[in-house]
Amino acid sequence: MNKYDTLNEKQREACFCTEGPLLLLAGAGSGKTRVLTHRIAYILENNLAKPWEIMAITFTNKASKEMAERVESLLGECSQVFVSTFHSACMRFLRRDIDKLGFSKSFTIYDTTDSKKVIKDIVKNNNLDKQAYKEAAVLSEISKAKNLLMSPDDYYNAYASEHRKRKIAEIYEQYQKELKKNNALDFGDLLYYMVKLFESEPDVLAHYQNKFKYILVDEYQDTNMIQFKIVNMLAKKHKNLCVVGDDDQSIYKFRGADITNILSFEKYYPSARVIKLEQNYRSTKNILDAANAVIKGNTYRKAKRLWTENPVGEKISFYNLPDEKQEARVIVELVGANLQAGYKYKDQSVLYRTNAQSRVIEERLFNQGIPYKILGGTNFYQRKEIKDFIAYLRLINEPKDDVAFDRIINYPKRGIGASTVNQVKDYAIKHEMSLFEVLEMIDEIDEFTDRNKKKLGEFAELIRTFAEEAKGMDSLEDFAADIVDRVGFYDELHKEKDKAEEKIANVRELIGKFKEYDDTAEEISLTGFLEDIALISDVDGYDEDADYVTLMTLHSAKGLEFPLVYMPGMEDGLFPSYMSINEGDEQVEEERRLCYVGITRAQEKLVMLSVKNRFLNGNTSYNPVSRFIEEIPDELLDVKSAKRSAQSYSARQKVKERKPTPYKSYYKAAKKDVKPAKEIDLKVGDFVMHKKYEVGEILEIRPAGADYELSVNFTSVGLKKIMANLSGVKKIDF
Quote the DSSP letter at residue 673.
Answer: H
* 572 touching DNA, by CB under 7 A: no
Q: Does 356 bind DNA (CB under 7 A)?
A: yes
Residue 170, classified by CB atoms within 10 Å of its CB into exposed (0-12), middle (13-18) or buried (19+), is middle
What mask, x for binding DNA by CB under 7 A, covers residues 581 to 610? Answer: --x---x--x--------------------
Residue 449 dihedral angles phi and psi, to the nearest 5°: -70, 160
Identify which range of 94-102, 227-235, 374-382, 626-634 contacts DNA by CB under 7 A.
374-382
376 binds DNA (CB under 7 A): yes
Closest to DNA by CB, 21 vs 660, is 660
Contacts (CB under 7 A) with DNA, residues 174-193? 187-188
CB-CB contact of 597 with 377 (8 Å): no
Q: How far is CA 473 from CA 441, 469, 661, in A?
A: 27, 6, 57
Considering only CA atoms, which of 625, 633, 554 is closest in space to residue 594? 554
Q: Which is nearer to DNA, 139 or 275 (CB)?
A: 139
> Considering only residues 41, 535, 597, 602, which one is a binding residue for DNA as defined by CB under 7 A?
535
392-421: contacts with DNA (CB under 7 A): 410, 413-420
Query: Does the protein bind DNA through residue 337 (CB under 7 A)?
Result: no
Nearer to DNA, 238 or 407 (CB): 407
Site stretch for DNA (CB under 7 A), options 192-200, 306-314, 595-603, 617-625: 617-625
Amino acid at 200: S
Residue selected from 580, 600, 626, 665 as contacting DNA according to rule CB under 7 A: 580
Question: Is 349 within 8 Å of 373 (Cβ atoms)?
Answer: no
Does 384 participate in binding DNA (rule CB under 7 A)? yes
Q: Which is nearer to DNA, 167 or 555 (CB)?
A: 555
> Pick from 217, 306, 307: which is nearest to 265 by CA?
217
CB of 7 to DNA, least distance (A): 29
Please report whether residue 50 would count as binding DNA according to CB under 7 A: no
Note whether 453 binds DNA by CB under 7 A: no
Of 2 and 419, nearer to DNA (C-beta) is 419
The reply to whether 555 sits near DNA by the rule CB under 7 A is yes
* Position 579 contacts DNA (CB under 7 A): yes
Residue 577 or 603 having the CB closest to DNA? 577
Our finding on whether 30 is near DNA (CB under 7 A) is no
Taking the least distance from each CB to DNA, the nearer of 254 and 300 is: 254
* Type and span of the H or E element at 184: strand 184-186
- Whole-number Å distance between alpha carbons of 590 and 595: 9
74 alpha-carbon distance from chain centroid: 32
- Whole-angstrom distance, CA of residue 108 vs CA of residue 458: 24
SS3 category, 204: helix
Region of 17-25, 95-103, 168-176, 355-363 interacting with DNA (CB under 7 A): 355-363
Kindly state the helix (H) or strand (E) to which residue 321 belongs, with its residue range: strand 316-323
Q: How far is the CB of 137 from DNA (least distance, A)?
A: 8
Residue 70: count other Cβ atoms within 10 Å of its Cβ: 18
Cα(57)–Cα(43) distance, integer angstroms: 16
For residue 19, the minimal CB distance to DNA (Å) is 30
- Which residues does residue 687 pair with via DSSP β-bridges, in sequence order? 697
Q: Could you say which of 271, 299, 520, 617 contacts DNA (CB under 7 A)?
A: 617
Q: Which of 565, 179, 110, 155 is nearest to 346 (CA)?
A: 565
Query: Residue 57: enclosing H or E segment and its boundaries?
Result: strand 54-58
Q: Tell me the number of residues near DNA by CB under 7 A.
A: 59
Active site residues per annotation: 32-33, 218-219, 249, 601
Q: Which of 18, 30, 79, 85 binds DNA (CB under 7 A)?
A: 85
DSSP state of 399: T
Residue 410's contacts (CB-CB under 8 Å, 6 or more residues apart) are: 416, 417, 421
The mark string for 234-263 relative to DNA (x by CB under 7 A, - otherwise) is ------------------xxxx--------
Toward DNA, which CB reaches closer, 3 or 95? 95
Nearer Cβ to DNA, position 213 or 555? 555
Give the closest residue to 297 by CA, choosing from 601, 593, 584, 574. 593
- Site string (466-485) toward DNA, x via CB under 7 A: --------------------
Q: Would you tell me how many other CB atoms lie within 10 Å of the CB of residue 566?
A: 29
CA distance 542 to 17: 33
Instruction: Name the nearest CA neighbour of 455 among 428, 484, 480, 421.
Output: 421
Measuring CA to CA, how many Å separate 581 from each of 575, 627, 731?
Answer: 9, 11, 40
Among 92, 96, 130, 305, binds DNA (CB under 7 A): 130
For DNA, the closer CB: 410 or 661: 410
Q: How far apart are CA 195 and CA 376, in angstroms?
A: 30
**136 contacts DNA (rule: CB under 7 A):** yes
The DSSP line for 227-239 is HHHHHHHHHTTT-
Q: Does 577 bind DNA (CB under 7 A)?
A: yes
Distant-in-sequence, close-in-space partners of 693: CB < 8 Å, separation ≥ 6: 716
Residue from the set 47, 127, 131, 271 that interacts with DNA by CB under 7 A: 131
CB of 449 vs DNA, minimal distance in Å: 8
279 makes contact with DNA (CB under 7 A): no
**Least CB distance to DNA at residue 92 (A):** 13
Cβ-in-10-Å burial (0-12, 13-18, 19+) of 225 comes to middle
Give whichever of 466 and 542 is closer to DNA, judged by the CB atom. Answer: 542
- Residues at the interface with DNA (CB under 7 A): 59-60, 85, 87-88, 112, 120, 130-131, 134, 136, 140, 143, 187-188, 252-255, 353-356, 359, 376-378, 384, 410, 413-420, 452, 495, 498, 535, 537-539, 553, 555-556, 577, 579-580, 583, 587, 590, 617-619, 664, 691, 727
